[in-house]
Structure 1
Amino acid sequence: MSANEDPDSYAAEVRHWLDIRGFSRTALAKSTGFNRPYVSKIASGAERGSVEFARAADKAMRTGGALERAWRERHGQAAAPAPVPSAASGLTVDQDLAELHYEDGVYRLTQRRRLINTGTDPVLRYLIRIAVDKYPGEPERSNQLYREHPLTWDDLQLQAWYGEGRTEPIKWTVQHDRDAFKEVWLVLRGEDGRRLPLYPGEAGWIEYTYTVPETLWGNWYRRAVRLPTNHLAVALDLPASTAPQVWGTHTSLTGDDLPLPTPIAVDRSGERVRYSWATDNPPLHARYTLQWRWGAAPYDEPMHQRPSEVMAVLGIVQDGDPILRATARKFNLPAEAEQARIAVARLQQAAELVATGHDFSGKGRGLAAPQIGLDAAAAVVYPPGASDPVILLNPVVVESSAETDMQYEGCLSFFDTRSRIPRPLSVHIAHTDPDGSERITVFEQGLARLVLHEVDHLYGVLCSDHLPEGEAPIPVEEYRGTGSAWAYRS
């Protein structure tokens, strides 16, 4: 399917680059001089937008002109120079196989694709994109890095072949060359100059490899579905000595971030560990991202990260962000049952990831939607030892016991301290099921404390707000309760 046959392709391209560059819609509006509602409408597909906006967004997000090309394709306008028949029309990807290998401070990507020409013209070349981002979500920091240390062709050492098993080495030509972004045409021509066109109805393999030093590559790899695809697979091949922790997300055409639909497989063999994930018939414009963090730093270097820094890396919103002081928007249930399901899925995924960064075995853990940047009245609470959470939608405290106790609490949004605060020993919480049913659940002791902590977050309240006069937070280094349960009289 060509871009001008798909009315959402341009909007999807805008969202793709927002995601790649870590730009919010507000930040893009500020960078381009357009207002935020206009940008939001373009990204959602509700507004066609102008070529002037596409050019401004290309410049702000350093896309190499990708948005203007998508805009012109969407509006049926030819770009200059007019492209020769290529992968943009009449191609299906039968097999899309990517492997990212890390060793000695260098990432090496190997990409293999079996292409089927379902169009009416021979395919003479194939466009590939190489984009790196060391600090996703921090565009200014990434921009400065790549201005000072641009990704070079010497870094990449790009090689390409045509035919299964690297039958024919092929040449490539540069379409765009930016500090952190490259577009390259793989030319279907042998070393001896012979053309190797892929004719209508034929299938053929393209393979290419390139390398990027870890100083220029962030801990993530993404596959974006730009053509109809039958099978997509991604693998990470990492040193076992780094104790990697890997997770993944699926970003849909609507922009929703969801857990991967199937688990990531793990194969630990000797000194390497291999994480692999695959799917069949992925939807167009879907994006699948594998992310990782090192449990032990490469080269046996110690990780000197503060607890708050660890949580920030794991995606937890930190104290000072306005969303932590706002009242979360309640769901209109059951009408918004799907939105609630998505919010809960994102919370569960985030909570699983957070568990890789700290020992919560004694007290359990919880997470509220504002802590992952969602304006939604949703929270999950995991009692100690539980694999399934208590799910709270639109929770309200309707009754609490007069009897209280004082215990230390930690908050993922300012995890460098612990605060000793009073909480009721029993609490009644009214909450709503996705089908709109309302219920009241009673929580006791430690679970009551966990639930109240998360419900507070949905009303812009932090646990430190409950500190009694004369009490102050203590540094985490002075806290001795990690891994142990709160103490209660039997």
Structure 2
Amino acid sequence: MSALEPEDFAATVRHWLEVSGFSRKKLAKEANFSSGYVSKVASGAERGSLDFAARADTAMATGGALERAWQAHHGQGAKPSAEPIVSAPGGLIVDQDIAELHYGHGQYRLTQRRRIVNTGSEPITRYLIRIAVDKFPGEPERSNAHYREHPLRWEDLNLEAWCGSGRTEPITWTVQHDRDSFKEVWLSFRGAQGRRLPIYPGEAGWIEYTYTVPEGQWGNWFRRAVRLPTNHLGVRLDMPADRAPEVWGTHTSLAGDDLPLPSPIEVERIGDRLTYSWSCENPPLHARYTMQWRWSAGAYDEPMQTPSQVMADLGIVQDPDAVLRRTARRFNLPAEAEQVRDVVARLEAAAEQITKVHDFTGKGRGLAAPQIGVDAAAAVVYTPGAVAPLVLLNPVVVETSAETDMQYEGCLSFFDTRSRIPRPLVAHIEHTGLDGTRRITVFDQGIARLVLHEVDHLHGVLCKDRLPEGEEPTPIEEYRGTGSAWQYK
């Protein structure tokens, strides 16, 4: 094992409770679980369910960090938690789930239609819906900051709802949760003059609702999550043809893998509009289907910053700056201990800034002094979920394992691509303490990869230099691993 262990699911829950400012009681209320259950999960006394992870992700706006952590630690052969969801309606099946997202005039309008069947023993008198947006998927801190400044407002959403096929009867709704980027609403099956419209046992009924979100608050993606037994799931995107959208889709399995949709997206042009349709029968519970798009070059009203430009704005030196190709100056320790403290403080500050614009929760992150323009043999490495970094001073690789693996790596100094890089599974690294003592630490798997990446930086080597013959960098637009952990047996 390595010198540093990845944190378990309970530790990840505690981390996000601290980051979001949530108490355990508040998370229980927002995610609709009992306080006792949340406390058990956070303390490690209870495994926790995948549904808990998904609901807690939504409540705390983690960008899916908890669900990824759950999959990493419990995804293989995990038993579901016995804790019932407090608000789960019993005996409810979704026969038809049809969503259409229309873009035009700088805003998105979602229309959602569901035919629900009451297979229980009590009348159904209301239905819980969610309105959740994420401008920067996979970058929770950046999204949170964005929505703090630009929250979803009810007056912009213009939520409307109906019962019956063809919008037969307008119905009322009440707010369950109201957050900057997330709303939960109870649709009450109550029509004009308070007339009740329950769905009785053995009966079925249609509900429909629509709402609007300004373009600046909606990311270029639309996800459907299967939370109830569903017979038919359909999605349709309605886009302007003159913006030449490129659309693709993924399916997130119960094992946490992002896979292509099981069937192709159908495209049809109708006048000046393009529609992209996809559907499936009997999707598995907890499956997630995501349709994503990007507008073709020249179709944007104004250019968007590339990931590398974002990093440059945060002070990260970009390739081909010459400082990235030099061997960094070694510290004379302990004589230069104070200088070390200053450099490390600057590295930690820069490393904190980048977490506001990108999600590093799955793989961790590292930063070397040359990347902030400092000629010094120092680097910091943050393992997934860690608050304090591993500090490397004057590091040198003294031994590596013969066994290697290939995983994707990204570099903050050219962040527009990801590259599949071979690395040893075990690395012995000599480094120096503040007191001048030399020591050797053994790292393995993902931590070894992080450390070796930073040691390379201190010797003027970039990860793309290690691309095997025939391998090409993957553009960030095509990369699907943001926020997910490296996989090891």
TM-score by length of 1: 0.53
TM-superposed deviation, 1:221: 0.8
CA distance in 1, matches of 2:234, 2:200: 26
CA distance in 2, matches of 1:145, 1:448: 39
Equivalent residue for 1:48?
47
CA distance in 1, matches of 2:404, 2:13: 23
Letter in 2 for 1:48: R
SS in 2 for 1:141: helix
TM-superposed deviation, 1:280: 0.5
Report the RMSD for the aligned CA atoms in angstroms: 5.3
SS in 1 for 2:276: strand
For the 8 Å contact 1:162–1:205, the answer to whether it is kept is yes
TM-superposed deviation, 1:123: 0.3
Equivalent residue for 2:145?
144
1:248-301: CA deviation from partner (whole Å, max 9, x where unpaired): 111122222211111111112331111111110000011111111111465x52
Deviates more, 1:247-256 or 1:116-125: 247-256
Equivalent residue for 1:281?
282
TM-superposed deviation, 1:61: 3.3
Q: How does 1:55-70 map to 2 (within 5 A)?
A: 60-61=60-61
Equivalent residue for 1:410?
none
For the 8 Å contact 2:123–2:200, the answer to whether it is kept is yes
1:58-84: CA deviation from partner (whole Å, max 9, x where unpaired): 874389xx99xxxxx9655796xxx6x
Q: Does 1:31 align with 2:19?
A: yes
Q: CA distance change for structure 1 residues 78 and 318 in 2, over 3 Å: closer, same or farther?
A: closer
1:395-424: CA deviation from partner (whole Å, max 9, x where unpaired): xxxxxxxxxxxxxxxxxxxxxxxx9x999x
Equivalent residue for 1:130?
131
Work out which of the residue numbers 470, 475, 479 in structure 2 matches 1:450: 470
CA distance in 1, matches of 2:220, 2:94: 26
Q: CA distance change for structure 1 residues 130 and 448 in 2, over 3 Å: closer, same or farther?
A: closer
Letter in 1 for 2:279: A
For the 8 Å contact 2:134–2:217, the answer to whether it is kept is yes
Letter in 1 for 2:470: L
Q: CA distance change for structure 1 residues 255 and 311 in 2, over 3 Å: closer, same or farther?
A: farther
For the 8 Å contact 1:32–1:57, the answer to whether it is kept is no
TM-superposed deviation, 1:163: 0.4
CA distance in 2, matches of 1:278, 1:148: 36
CA distance in 1, matches of 2:292, 2:245: 10
SS in 1 for 2:135: coil
Structure 1 unaligned regions, length at least 5: 1-14, 16-22, 68-72, 332-339, 348-357, 359-365, 377-418, 424-446, 455-490
SS in 2 for 1:144: helix
Equivalent residue for 1:178?
179
TM-score by length of 2: 0.53
TM-superposed deviation, 1:246: 1.1
Structure 2 unaligned regions, length at least 5: 1-8, 24-37, 68-79, 313-356, 368-380, 384-396, 410-415, 426-461, 475-489
Equivalent residue for 2:28?
none
Q: CA distance change for structure 1 residues 245 and 191 in 2, over 3 Å: closer, same or farther?
A: same
Equivalent residue for 2:100?
99
For the 8 Å contact 1:92–1:118, the answer to whether it is kept is yes
TM-superposed deviation, 1:175: 0.8
Q: CA distance change for structure 1 residues 59 and 90 in 2, over 3 Å: closer, same or farther?
A: closer
For the 8 Å contact 1:253–1:286, the answer to whether it is kept is yes
SS in 2 for 1:165: coil
TM-superposed deviation, 1:170: 0.5
Q: CA distance change for structure 1 residues 93 and 244 in 2, over 3 Å: closer, same or farther?
A: same
Letter in 2 for 1:266: V
Letter in 2 for 1:303: P
Letter in 2 for 1:450: G
Identity %: 59
